[in-house]
Amino acid sequence: MSNDQILLFTLFGAVFGLLLWGRFRYDLVAFSALMAGVVLGVVPVDDAFSGFGHPATLVVALVLIVSAGLVRSGAVFLITRTLVDSTRRLGGHIAIMGSVGGILSAFMNNVAALALLMPVDIATARKAGRSPGLSLMPLSFATILGGMATLIGTPPNIIIASFRNDALGEPFSMFDFAPVGGTAAIAGLAFVALIGWRLIPKRDSGVGGDPLSDLSPYISELTLPEENSLVGKRLQDMMEIAEKSDVAIMGLIRDGKRRFGTGRNLELRAGDVLVMEAAPDALDEFRAAAKLDFMPEGHAIGEVVGEGVRLTEVLIPPDSRLAGRSAQAIGLSWRKRTVLMGIARRGKHVRKRLRQAVIEPGDILLLLTPTDTTEDVIDWIGGLALADRGLAVTQDSKTWLAIGFFGAAVLAASVGLLYLPIALGLVVIGYVLARILPLTEVYTHIEWPVVVLLGSMIPLGAALESSGGTELIAGALVGLTQGLPAWAVLTVLMVVTMTLSDVLNNTATTIVAAPVGIQMAAALDKNPDPFLMAVAVAASAAFLTPIGHKNNTLVLGPGGYSFGDYWRMGLPLEVIVVAVSVPAILVFWPL
C-alpha cells in the first residue's frame, strides 16, 4: 500500500468518523478534508475545486432551482390536489408517493423524478403539520429503487450496458434490468413503506415547521373573474375546493353588500368577492386552485407579477402611517403598487372591506408587493416585517408551460439528445425568461452547504481512484472470493460495490466495479451477465450516506438530516436488496 493510499484511507476514515459524530456541520468537515488532502499532496492543486464544477454538483443545484419553479408555477399544487391527501396517515402517504416515485424513476432519470415529487412531499408535510424529514428520505430511496428497473432509470445501468457491449458485443436492452432490478425495487419499496420510515430520527427540518404558525389566520378577499368556470355554480362547489386548501369561506360580498353566513346553494356570479379566513400559503393555494383574482386594485401590480411579487407579513406599530387609517385612505395601491391581501387581528373579525378597514396598532397585514420595492413599502408604511417564511405567489397561468419545459428536458435527457445537466440548465433559463421564477430568487433556492459537501467529496473520491485505492480494493476482493461458490461470490461483489458506492458516487463505482465483475466471471469460467447485473443493482443501492447518490444529497438540507441518519433505514434496506437480488440473478441470469 502506497503512502498516498494510506493517507487517503486515513482521511476518509477521519471524515466519516466526524460526520457520524455530528459535532461539526457536514460542509465544514468535507471542505476541511479537501483542504487537508491538498496540503498533504494526495489531491492535486489543479483538481482541488473540480468537484464544484462536476456534473453531479451542478445537477443537485439545478434540480433545486427547477423544483422551486415547479412550485411557483402551480405544478406542485396540481399534483398535490389530484394525488395527495394531507389527512392520510404517514405510512399510507409514503406508500403512495414511493410507488409513484418508483414508477416515474423507471422511465425518467431518478434525479428528475425526485425533483418533481420533492416539492409535492414538502407541501403535503406543511399541510399535515409534520416535518418533511419523515417522508423525504423514503421518497429519495424509492426513486433510487425504481431507477434500477430499466436502462434509462439510472446512470449505472447505462454504463453497465456499455461494458457488456465491449465484453460480449451486445449491450443490455431497455428492460433487461427489470427482472432483477424490479424485484429488488418492489421488495425495497415494501420495506420503506411498512417499516423503514419508522427508523428515521424525528427532528424538525425547519421546512415543514412554521415559525409563525401561532398567528391568527388572515381575513382575506379574492374576486371571482368573469371567465371562471365556477360562475353559475353553487357556493358549495367553491367550498369543496376551499376545504382541500384549508381555507374557511365566511361569506361573500356582492354589489357592495356583505352576505356572511350565506347558504351553500347560492349561485356564484362574476365579480363576487369571497371573504375567507386562511393562512398565507393556504390562501395562495386556494387562489391558484379556484383561479381567483386579487382584489380589483390588484391591477396596480398586475404588470409586474411576472417580474416577481412577494407576500410579506408586517406588524403595525402605533406610530405607523397606517395606524388609525385604511389602506384606501393612504393610497397604498396606487402609491406603492401594493395590495392588502389580509388582516390578522388577534382572532377578531374585520367588519369592513379590507381596503376600507381602519388598521389598528397590533394588526398584522399580509401585503402583496413587487419584490424589488418590498423593503421600501415596509419603510414607507412604518411597519415591522415578520420573519420570512418563504411565502410566494403562484404563477398559476404558467402551470402547463412549466410542466412542458420540465417534461421536454426529461424526455431529451432520457433518449440521449441532451446531457441531463444541460437539459436542467435550459429549464432554468426557460423559467427565468418566461417569468415563472424571478431572476432575483434563483440563487436563494440552492442548498449551499449541500453543494459544498458534494463539491468537496468528489475530488477526494477521484484521488482515491487515481491513487489505485479502488484497484487495491478490487484485487483484495478477487483474492478473498477464490474457492467460494458462485452465489457467495455474487454476494461479496454486491456488498463491496455497495460500500464503494456509499463513498464514491455511483457512476465512479460502476466504472471501477464492472471490470472487476467481468474478471471474477472469467476466473470462475462463468457467464459475465450475472456479475454485471450484480454490479448494476449494487452501484445504485447507495443508502448509507448522503453522498453516495445525488437523490440522497438533494434531501439532506430540506429533510434536516444529519450525515448519520441515513444508515438507520439504509443499512437494513441494503441487506434486503442483496438478499432479494442474488436469488433473482441466479434465476433470471443463470451462471
**130-141 mean pLDDT:** 91
- Mind spelling out the 3-state secondary structure of 482-511? CCCCHHHHHHHHHHHHHHHHHHCCHHHHHH
Q: Are 234 and 265 in contact (CB under 8 A)?
A: yes
Contact 57, 451 (CB under 8 A): yes
What would the pLDDT profile of 255-302 be if each residue is shown by its tens digit?
A: 777 765 556 678 888 888 888 888 777 788 788 778 888 765 544 444
Q: Which residue has the cell 365556477?
A: 230
Domain covering 211-293 assigned CATH 3.30.70.1450 in the classification: yes
Q: How high is the pLDDT of residue 229? A: 84
| DSSP three-state, residue 201 | coil
Rounded Cα distance between 258 and 499, Å, is: 67
pLDDT digits (tens, 9 = 90+) for 315-352: 899 889 988 898 888 888 888 888 888 888 776 667 67
3-class secondary structure, 179: helix
| Alpha carbon distances (Å) from 59 to 123, 402, 473 | 22, 18, 29
Strand partners, 219: 277, 343
Report the C-alpha gap between 243 and 146 in whole angstroms. 34
Judged on CB neighbours under 10 Å (0-12, 13-18, 19+), 1 is exposed
Residues whose CB is less than 8 angstroms from the CB of residue 267 and which lie 6 or more positions away in sequence, other chains included = 232, 233, 234, 235
Q: What is the pLDDT of residue 211?
A: 47
* pLDDT 10s digits, 99-121: 988 888 887 667 778 877 888 88
How far apart CA 93 and CA 80 sit, in angstroms, is 12
The pLDDT value recorded for residue 532 is 92
**Range list for CATH 3.30.70.1450 in the chain:** 211-293, 307-388
Is the model more confident about 490 or about 237? 490
- Residues 376-397: pLDDT tens digits? 998 999 988 886 666 666 766 7
User: What are the DSSP calls for 416-470, one per residue?
Assistant: TSS-HHHHHHHHHHHHHHTTSS-GGGTGGGS-HHHHHHHHHHHHHHHHHHHTTHH
DSSP for 222-267? EE--TT-TTTTSBHHHHHHHHHHTT-EEEEEEETTEEEET--TTPB
**Per-residue model confidence as pLDDT tens digits over 436-463:** 888 877 888 787 887 887 788 778 877 8
Pick from 36-45, 292-301, 329-338, 497-506: least confident: 292-301
Q: Is residue 4 scored above 80 in pLDDT?
A: yes
Dihedrals phi, psi of 148, to nearest 5 degrees: -70, -15
pLDDT at 187 over 90: yes
Q: What class is the 307-388 domain?
A: alpha beta
Average pLDDT over every residue of 528-550: 89
